[in-house]
């Protein structure tokens, strides 16, 4: 079918689908100008649960800016991360590849630590590095967690600048009493560094003001780069425990300190979107909001909520890997609620293609181009998702069905259980993963097993980056 006929069938015109940077940009009155490549802003939270935003059903946390972003853009209800803990999830987003392909997951240590000698290998091509040849200004603000040694830092991976804490905000613990330190956190308990490019500029980083300062840094970058295409990766350290909010937000949410933190992040999102509007950049900027993994449940009220999804951070139930995701691009993407599947790895491919590039052809890239779903021309191309824990496949989703081959909670002391046949859930009927329907669908299980075989046959073993430690003198 000719493209014109296809568009007519969908009730669309070529102009309504125009994407800047793809050779058919709309003329517009803003100073962003016709034909300019689109800007990209990815806002990535840490340990935010599926149920922690107003627009995803939280009954007391107020997120007016994210709610508006969702109303103007797309709210994705089946959007996944590449792993249920920080380091591998971040590697998946920035490389478009399951972390098993880069060595950024391990069965020995789940994430990188301050004594880690490894990090994201130079052979990986981050979104930032892929965008540089297309003339993009790039900045990373916030948590990195892909290696804190120089060769692994953002400035060694395609980012022009970096401002942030290079790993989790609960590392480098030097004081405080047991878990009480988390219930009544003080900045001085965690001696984490705050870095500007490759230099430590503050230690311990003042965590009470960190969310506010990250948002301000993001706004500053957008204003400074408004006349050139830019990619901003803003990865908040929070709401990962220990929780901190600035004076303006501390004690203001009905949800307690966790709510204060989310409402401060929401406020920052508002500042960023207002800046894009005020600078005339909104209609040329694709903004994504999501999180690296689900809520950290052992921290009780200091952890978030996965809403109706089962379990949380650290495991392969939905609560660990399905994230509250909002995509925003006024006048470009079709507003609405999207029930199709998507994944952070898809942002890699989608963003690079929108910038006029192509994902690297010399390796397997797991990311798919979400443009059809974004621009209303068709469904999301994603119908399968692999759920890894470390280097092992624990579950696979295909279409509505998810097969669990191995189950274990995130952090409870339950046993790892292998299932043969796998436990099968219909996630469209049963998003809370309660009712095993394996007996009724042997054909679905056979199909999923075939997917696993195809997938594992194409895997190439990589050096475990997370197990390497800095040698003590
Ligand atoms: Mg996390």
Run of H or E including 351: helix 344-354
Which positions ≥6 away from 128 have C-beta within 8 Å?
A: 94, 136, 138, 140, 154, 157, 158, 159, 231, 233
For the record, the structure tokens of 346 come out as 């898809």
Distance from the alpha carbon of residue 429 to the mean position of ligand 1, in angstroms: 28
- Contact present, 367 and 96 (Cβ < 8 Å): yes
Token pair 């290998």: residue: 121
Could you give the domains of the chain? Answer: 37-383 (3.40.720.10), 386-457 (3.30.1120.10)
pLDDT score, position 338: 98
Distance from the alpha carbon of residue 243 to the mean position of ligand 1, in angstroms: 13
Residue-by-residue pLDDT tens, the chain, 473 positions: 333 333 333 333 333 333 333 333 333 334 445 579 999 999 999 999 999 999 999 999 999 999 999 999 999 999 999 999 999 999 999 999 999 999 999 999 999 999 999 999 999 999 999 999 999 999 999 999 999 999 999 999 999 999 999 999 999 999 999 999 999 999 999 999 999 999 999 999 999 999 999 999 999 999 999 999 999 999 999 999 999 999 999 999 999 999 999 999 999 999 999 999 999 999 999 999 999 999 999 999 999 999 999 999 999 999 999 999 999 999 999 899 999 999 999 999 999 999 999 999 999 999 999 999 999 999 999 999 999 999 999 999 999 999 999 999 999 999 999 999 999 999 999 999 999 999 999 999 999 999 999 999 999 989 999 999 998 86
Catalytic option among 86, 148, 267, 404: 86
DSSP 3: H
As beta bridge partners, residue 291 has: 45
* 394 labelled catalytic: no
Length of the chain: 473
Run of H or E including 370: none
Distance from the alpha carbon of residue 123 to the mean position of ligand 1, in angstroms: 24
pLDDT score, position 155: 98
The torsion defined by the Cα of 272, 275, 280 and 282, in degrees rounded to 10, comes to: 20
For the record, the structure tokens of 268 come out as 């920052």
pLDDT score, position 29: 35
Distance from the alpha carbon of residue 45 to the mean position of ligand 1, in angstroms: 8
* 236 labelled catalytic: no
- Contact present, 128 and 157 (Cβ < 8 Å): yes
């Amino acid at each position: 079918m000719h493209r014109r006929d296809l568009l007519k069938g969908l009730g669309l015109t070529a102009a309504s689908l125009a994407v800047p940077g793809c050779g058919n940009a709309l003329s517009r009155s803003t100073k962003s100008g016709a034909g300019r490549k689109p800007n990209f802003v990815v806002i990535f939270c840490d340990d935010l649960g599926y149920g922690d935003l107003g627009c995803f059903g939280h009954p007391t946390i107020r997120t007016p800016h994210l709610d508006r972003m969702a109303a103007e853009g797309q709210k994705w209800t089946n959007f996944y991360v590449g792993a249920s803990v920080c380091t591998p999830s971040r590697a998946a987003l920035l490389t478009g590849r399951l972390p098993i392909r880069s060595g950024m997951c391990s069965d020995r240590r789940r994430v990188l630590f301050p004594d880690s000698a490894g990090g994201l290998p130079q052979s990986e091509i981050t979104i930032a590095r892929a965008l540089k040849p297309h003339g993009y200004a790039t900045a990373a603000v916030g948590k990195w967690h892909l290696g804190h040694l120089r060769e692994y830092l953002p400035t060694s991976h395609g980012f022009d600048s970096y401002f942030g804490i290079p790993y989790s905000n609960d590392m480098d613990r030097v004081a405080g009493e047991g878990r009480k330190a988390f219930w009544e956190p003080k900045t001085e308990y965690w001696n984490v560094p705050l870095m500007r490019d490759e230099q430590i500029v503050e230690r311990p980083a003042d965590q009470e003001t960190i969310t506010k300062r990250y948002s301000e840094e993001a706004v500053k970058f957008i204003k400074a780069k408004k006349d050139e295409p830019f990619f901003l990766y803003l990865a908040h350290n929070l709401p990962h425990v220990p929780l901190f909010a600035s004076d303006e937000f501390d004690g203001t949410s009905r949800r307690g300190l966790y709510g204060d933190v989310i409402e401060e992040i929401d406020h920052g999102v508002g500042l960023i979107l207002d800046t894009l509007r005020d600078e005339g950049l909104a209609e040329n900027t694709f903004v994504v909001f999501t999180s690296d993994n689900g809520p950290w449940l052992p921290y009780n009220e200091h952890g978030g909520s996965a809403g109706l999804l089962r379990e949380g951070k650290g495991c392969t139930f939905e609560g660990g890997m399905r994230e509250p995701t909002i995509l925003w691009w006024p006048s470009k993407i079709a507003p609405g609620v999207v029930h199709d599947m998507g994944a952070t790895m898809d942002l890699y491919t989608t963003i690079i293609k929108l910038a006029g590039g192509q994902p690297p052809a010399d390796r397997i890239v797991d990311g798919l181009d979400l443009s059809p779903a974004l621009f209303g021309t068709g469904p999301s191309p994603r119908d399968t998702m692999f759920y890894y824990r470390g280097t092992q496949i624990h579950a696979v989703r295909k279409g509505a069905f998810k097969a669990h081959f191995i189950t274990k909670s995130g952090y409870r002391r339950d046993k790892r259980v292998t299932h043969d046949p796998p436990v099968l859930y219909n996630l469209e009927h049963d998003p809370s993963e309660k009712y095993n329907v394996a007996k009724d669908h042997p054909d679905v299980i056979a199909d999923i097993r075939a997917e696993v075989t195809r997938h594992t046959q194409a895997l190439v073993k990589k050096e475990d980056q997370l197990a390497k430690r800095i040698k003590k003198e």
